[in-house]
Every structure is written in structure tokens, then in C-alpha cells.
Structure 1
Amino acid sequence: MTYVGRFAPSPTGPLHQGSLVAAVFSFLDARAHQGTWRVRIEDLDPPREQPGAADAILRTLEAHALYWDGDILYQSTRLDAYAEAMTALRDRGQAYDCGCTRREIAAIGRTGLEGPVYPGTCRQGLAPGRSPRALRVCTHDDPIGFHDRHHGLVSQRLSREIGDFVIRRADGLTAYQLAVVVDDAFQDITHVVRGSDLLDSTPRQLHLQRLLGLSSPTYLHHPLVLNGTGDKLSKQTHAPAADDTTPLTNLAAVMDFLDLPLPVDWRDATPTALLEHALAHWPFRA
């Protein structure tokens, strides 16, 4: 099967060491399978985005010889496609308007995997006097499972562990779960390689793929880089930006995290040569 992978950062800031690990991991896995590696900029949340961050991310990828294939896809150009998918779900009775606030859901929802489980308050229609806020997709209690290339079998019962989840937010923006499904299909993505913080999102994406009649990629969720207090490296935990002037040092740290051997003379190598050495020892070829 032809391999098409992708790296899909959000332009909320520059790449840090954790996101560089994600980029290198997905890049090496694509190249190990003689596949295509695409870059998608997930610029769907303007209030959280930093001016110039998208360009900075691309410069960092190039500084580390992480060269992508084809054109970059910007999600901000795909709003019509998301609206079409939401209309299709609504027309088939698989999505509905919700007028509940977060505070109301927190007060009555039992605790699930990612906070309060939405109890389906608006599934049969909005209460009198309530205005629509978000758009939710209907879930069910049948287990949704998949085989992750790192974690093995993963299964969820969405209705009890997550609840009917949002596909259009109260601020009118498209939710991540819908956008990623629509764009993975649009770009013919066959393999998704990303951090384990998104492992629990995958059953929701599988559910949407099935509702929309889309094929499902193969998934690999790799370990996360943590800081000294055990938290995921992220912009929220003030992870410093990757230094584009020290690509060899950065790549060496990534290879160490991935348990890939370094050549003895790595300090005299080029970023491309270092990636080729890592590729020769890549363990995830199945």
C-alpha cells in the first residue's frame, strides 16, 4: 500500500523539542516506508495563533532537513469542506444543535476520559427559549477499537466515556476532531504518526470517518517528551523554541529520546546525514 503521512502543527508558537520529536518521528516513518510526507498547518483557532508562527515552523523544519512533499495545506482554506461535512451529518440526523454551556455540562455530567461526559440534554431538540451554541455529533455505546502500532489494541465506548462531542464550537470555529478527519481524507493520508496525547481522540475520529463514509488511516501514537515536573512539553508549559542555529544538537537529542544510535562523528555531519543514519536504524517498519 502506498504510504502517505503528515505532520500537522498548529501555529500557536514555534516548534519546541517535543514538537520536533513529533516531526522527526513522522518524517522518518514515512521515509522508512518509501512514502510521501506532507505538512498541514492547522490554523483554525485565530485567537490562539501567533503572528508569523506558521512561517517559523516551516523554517525550523527546513533547518533540520525535514523536507516535505507537495504543497502545504492550510486548514483556514478548507472552511467550505468542513461546513459541507457538518451539513451532511445534520441532514442525516447524526448531528444536532446544543444550547448547553460548559458550566451546565460540568454541573450534571459525570466524569469521563476528558472531563464531564455530555449527557445528551439537547439530543431531542433545544429546550424552549434556548439558542443553539455548538453542534454535536451523536455517539453510541458500541466499542470503537483500533490497533495502534505502538500501544496495541485501543478501544472506547464513546457515549459513556466521551459523550456526544462538539464538531462546531460555540464561537463558530470548526472543532479539531472534524477538521482532522476531513483533511486526512482530502490529502489521502494512509498513516497517522503523532503524540500519545491524541490517542484518546482517535476513536472519535474513527466514528466520524465511518459516519462520513471515509477510510481510516493506520495509527501510531509515540511517547511524549516531558519536562522536569513530568508534564508534556508544550507552549502552555513554556517549552523553549527549538534553536534553528543548532540543528545537529537538536536532532541528536531527538535521536537519543527515540533510542536511535548516533554516529561517532555526528557533530561533523549534516542534518540530512544524521536523518539518514537514523533512518537506517528505524525500528517501526511493520
Structure 2
Amino acid sequence: MRDYRGRFAPTPSGPLHFGSLIAALASYLDARHRQGHWLLRIEDIDPPRCPPGAADTILRQLEAFGLFWDGPVHWQHDRDDAYQAALARLEALGLAYPCSCSRKQWRDHPVYPGWCRAGPREPDKPLAWRLRSDLGPTPITWEDRLFGPQRFEPASLGDVVLKRKDGLWAYQLAVVVDDGEQGITDVVRGFDLLDNTPWQRQLQHALALPTPRYLHLPLILGKNGQKLSKQNLAPALPEQEDAVRPLLHRALIALDQSPPSALATESARTQLEWAVTHWSPQRLQPTAERHAPDTAQR
């Protein structure tokens, strides 16, 4: 068994909310229970979505909840050379290609139909780079730690973008390169990213990188039935200790860890000490979505 190395990797498009806390807390507890490392990566490869100061707010919020990470923060904006080297390798292997097509052109298809695989249809237009889904291992299979056996046919997913037409790196390539370089052994994240995993496993195979274990968590819904997210204006996590304590307790409840009721008034440090000792992913219920505890939505 490799030494456990987990991570939390938020996009600094705004402050963390209760849904973010669930992902951060579960990944933290999974790492600390295994006496492993818990790393923090700021996924800021899309500057237009990342307002000034948002990353600093995230760091303060994590510290307020006692979620302290190991080592320096890993910033994706510093990683252009590594991503470019990975893309060049994929191109050399015949697995990545430039594409001139717009979403409007293929909107009548369920996934991008691969029109530019033999060369850009309109080479004078701005070009994105895509991963060929028709090459490599098939089907893509793995065992999710909560949702069990997973099987995807790459052709049903389409050729995902690796580098955008505006020159910005896409999530799929960046996350795989960074997980590989940081030696991540276990990924704990939301269920909404489960269907991204096949592309990532394709890329890991092509780039000869290790494949982490995956634990996808149920998504947290607000009272309106929508996923708690920055786009849906989910309330930001507090940084004041008197507000942190009950919210951290509610997060442990949302993770099916059944914390004692008396723990709700204890400090974040005391709650986390209990939670690290008693952490059990086996208690998690394998549902794709669930409502947040009422107090988490206020």
C-alpha cells in the first residue's frame, strides 16, 4: 500500500460554502484517519472566473474550521510548462488533436463527433485541443469506494477539451498532471465529478501515471432542491468560532458520522479529533444527492 496522499482542490471562483465544506472535511478525515498527508491545491487555471481575494478567503475559511494542510499550497497558475509538456506527449502519441469546431456547430449531437480528428476543419480559426476517446483502453472501469463498480464506454463520452481556444488549460488535463506530480493516492470529491473520472483515467493511462482510488460523495442540496454551489449563491462559510462549531457538527451529520450531540459546542479542534478517530466511509449512504441540514442553509 502506498503512503496515503489526499488533497482538496477548490476553484477560487468565490468563498467556500457548506457543500465545499463537505468535500474538504471528508477528504481531510480520510487522510488523517489513515495517518496520511492532506494537500491543498488552488485550481486557478481560469483567471476570468477567479476574482481577486477569493483564494485568500478560502485559506482563511479552511483555517477557521481547523482544516490545516500539509506543505505549501499548490497553485495551478504556476503549472503552464507541466501542462504543455503533457499535451505535447499526448500529441506525439496521436491521442490529442487541434479542433476548430464550436459547440454551436455540433449542438445536434450528444457529444462532440470527432470531426477534426484527421485535422482541423477550419485551421485558420482559433483551435482547442481535444483527447481522442476512440483510442486507448476500453471500457473504462474502476471501483468507487462508495458507489461500487463503474463502467464507461469512452465513445459515449466524446473527445474532451484539454486546452481551450483562448489558450487556457482545461480541468481534465490539469487535474491529472497535478495529481500525478503530487503523488495523490486517494481522491475524495463530489458525485458531480464521477463521470469526469473516465477521462482522467484515460489520461493517467496515456501519460503513464498512477491511478488514485476514488470516493465520490453525495451532493448537498439546498431547500430549493438545487445543488449548493457558488452559481446558486450558496451562503459563504463563516470564519467566526461561534458559527463554525455548530456548522462543523452539521457537516459531520451530513457525512453520516453520527457525532455525539454534545460535540456541537466543542471547538473545531476537539470535533476534528473525534471525527478523525471515528471516521468511517462505510457509514456513508450511497445516494447521489441529499438535502443539507437546515442550519447549514441559513
Q: What is the TM-score of this pair, normalised by structure 2?
A: 0.90
Cross-structure match for 1:145:
141
Within 1, Cα distance between the matches of 2:146 and 2:121?
45
Amino acid at match of 1:35: G
Q: How many aligned residue pairs are there?
A: 278
Within 2, Cα distance between the matches of 1:264 and 1:202?
36
SS at match of 2:257: coil
Asked if 1 retains the 8 angstrom alpha-carbon contact of 2:100 and 2:122, the reply is: no
Q: Aligned pair 1:172/2:173, yes or no? A: no
Amino acid at match of 1:251: L
Q: CA deviation at 1:258?
A: 1.1
Within 2, Cα distance between the matches of 1:259 and 1:192?
19
Asked if 2 retains the 8 angstrom alpha-carbon contact of 1:39 and 1:73, the reply is: yes
Q: What CA deviation, in whole Å up to 9, does each residue of 1:158-208 have, x standing for no partner? A: 11x211111001111110000000000110000000000000000100000
Cross-structure match for 1:8:
9
Q: Aligned pair 1:127/2:124, yes or no? A: no
Q: Which deviates further from its counterpart, 135-144 or 5-14?
A: 135-144
SS at match of 2:143: strand
SS at match of 2:281: coil
Q: CA deviation at 1:9?
A: 0.3
Q: Aligned pair 1:257/2:254, yes or no? A: yes
Cross-structure match for 2:289:
none
Asked if 2 retains the 8 angstrom alpha-carbon contact of 1:98 and 1:126, the reply is: yes
Q: Which runs of 4+ in 1 moved over 6 A?
A: none
Q: Which deviates further from its counterpart, 96-105 or 255-264?
A: 255-264
Amino acid at match of 1:217: P
SS at match of 1:274: helix
Asked if 1 retains the 8 angstrom alpha-carbon contact of 2:101 and 2:121, the reply is: no
SS at match of 2:107: helix
Q: CA deviation at 1:282?
A: 1.3
SS at match of 2:280: coil
Cross-structure match for 2:48:
47
Q: Which deviates further from its counterpart, 120-129 or 149-158?
A: 120-129
Within 1, Cα distance between the matches of 2:61 and 2:123?
51
Q: CA deviation at 1:129?
A: 5.7
Within 2, Cα distance between the matches of 1:82 and 1:285?
36
Asked if 1 retains the 8 angstrom alpha-carbon contact of 2:19 and 2:228, the reply is: yes
Percent sequence identity is: 49
Asked if 2 retains the 8 angstrom alpha-carbon contact of 1:99 and 1:126, the reply is: yes
Within 1, Cα distance between the matches of 2:228 and 2:265?
29
Q: Which structure 2 residue ranges, 5 or more long, are not aligned?
A: 284-298
Q: Which deviates further from its counterpart, 241-250 or 5-14?
A: 241-250
Within 2, Cα distance between the matches of 1:60 and 1:225?
19
* Distance 1:195-1:118 versus aligned 2 partners, 3 A rule: same
* Distance 1:21-1:128 versus aligned 2 partners, 3 A rule: closer
SS at match of 1:39: strand
